[in-house]
Amino acid sequence: MITKRIIPCLDVRNGRVVKGMNFESIKDVNDPATLAELYNGAGADELVFYDITATFEGRKLFTDALTRVAEKVFIPLTVGGSINAVEDFERVLSCGADKVSVNSGAIKDPELIDAAASRYGSQCVVLSMDVKRTERGFTVFMGGGRVDTGKDAIAWAAEGVSRGAGELVINSIDTDGVKQGFDIELLKAISSVVDVPIIASGGAGCMEHFATLFKEVPGVDAGLAASIFHYGQVDIKELKKYLRSCGVLMRI
C-alpha cells in the first residue's frame, strides 16, 4: 500500500532559503540545493519550495536554484508562490518542478485550476489553502493570513478538486507556529468531502503530532512542516522510524 509521506517545506527568497538550518556540518545552510540533498538523504518523500520573492530578478534566482535542485535530487518536487497564470506553471515545470501549488492565484481566478489541469494533468496541480476559523466556520484567507476571502474552506476544497486539483495542501492558520499539533478538526472536515490526497500543514511540534495526525485522520496522506525540520527539533529519519513503529506505513 501507499506510504504516508513526510514533506519538508523550504521558503526561498531571491534564490536563498529563508530560515536556514542550524546544521553546523554544512557550509552553505541557505543554499536550496544543499538543503534538498540533505533532506533527500534523510528520507524526505517529497520537497516543497515556496518562492516568497516579490521581484522579477528574484524569481529568476529562484528558478535557477530550482534547476540546481532538480539536477541533483530525484524525488518529487513541488513549487509554490507567485503562481498566477498558466505561464507560471510552465516557468517552474521547465526548471524541474513536478507539481505546482497554487493558492491566492486560484482564489483570484479559479479557472486557473481548470486550465492548468487540462494542460498538465491533475497530478501536476496542487491547490494550497490557508484556513482560519471565523464566526462563519472554516474560512479561506490569503495574503499570508491577512485577507479574509469570505470563501468557505470546505466548499473551496470541493470546488478546487472538481475543477481538477489533484492534491490539496491544507494549512491551518490557527495551529500554524503554535506547535501544539495539526488541526485535526479541520482536516477531518476537508477529508470527508474530497477524494484526492491531502497534505496537512501547520502545527507540527514533535514526532507524536505526526502519529496523531495519521491515526486520527486516515484520509490525510502527508504531513508537511518547515521549522521543526530546519532547526533539527525533529529528525526526518527518526520520525519515519518512529511512525513505522506506531504502525504507520513509511518508506524507509
Partner 1 sequence: MIAIVDYGVGNLFSLKCSLAAIGHEAVVTGDKQKLERADRIILPGVGAFGDARAKLAASGLDKTVTELARAGKPLLGICLGMQMLFDRSYEFGEFDGLGLIPGVVLPIRDELDKAGLGLKIPHIGWNALDIVKDHKILRNTRQGEHMYFVHSFYAARCDADVVATTSYGVTLTAAVARDNVMGAQFHPEKSGEAGLRLLSAFAEM
In the complex, the residues that contact partner 1 under the rule CB under 8 A are 1-3, 5, 40, 45, 70-72, 74-76, 93-96, 98, 121-123, 166-167, 195-197, 221, 251
The answer to whether 215 and 242 have CB atoms below 8 angstroms apart is no
Nearer to partner 1, 72 or 108 (CB): 72
Nearer to partner 1, 120 or 141 (CB): 120
Nearer to partner 1, 108 or 251 (CB): 251
Residue 48 is given by DSSP the state E
CA 85 vs CA 10, 91, 101, 116: distances in Å? 22, 10, 12, 8
Nearer to partner 1, 98 or 159 (CB): 98
Q: What is the largest CA-CA distance in the chain?
A: 48
CB of 107 to partner 1, least distance (A): 24
CB of 225 to partner 1, least distance (A): 18
CB of 251 to partner 1, least distance (A): 4
In the residue annotation, 130 being an active-site residue is answered as yes
Residue 3 is given by DSSP the state P
CB of 1 to partner 1, least distance (A): 6
- Nine-digit cell at 234? 525533529
d(CA 239, CA 208) in angstroms, rounded, equals 9
The answer to whether 69 and 49 have CB atoms below 8 angstroms apart is yes
> From the candidates 130, 176, 183, 221, which is the catalytic residue?
130
The answer to whether 232 and 8 have CB atoms below 8 angstroms apart is no
| Catalytic positions | 11, 130
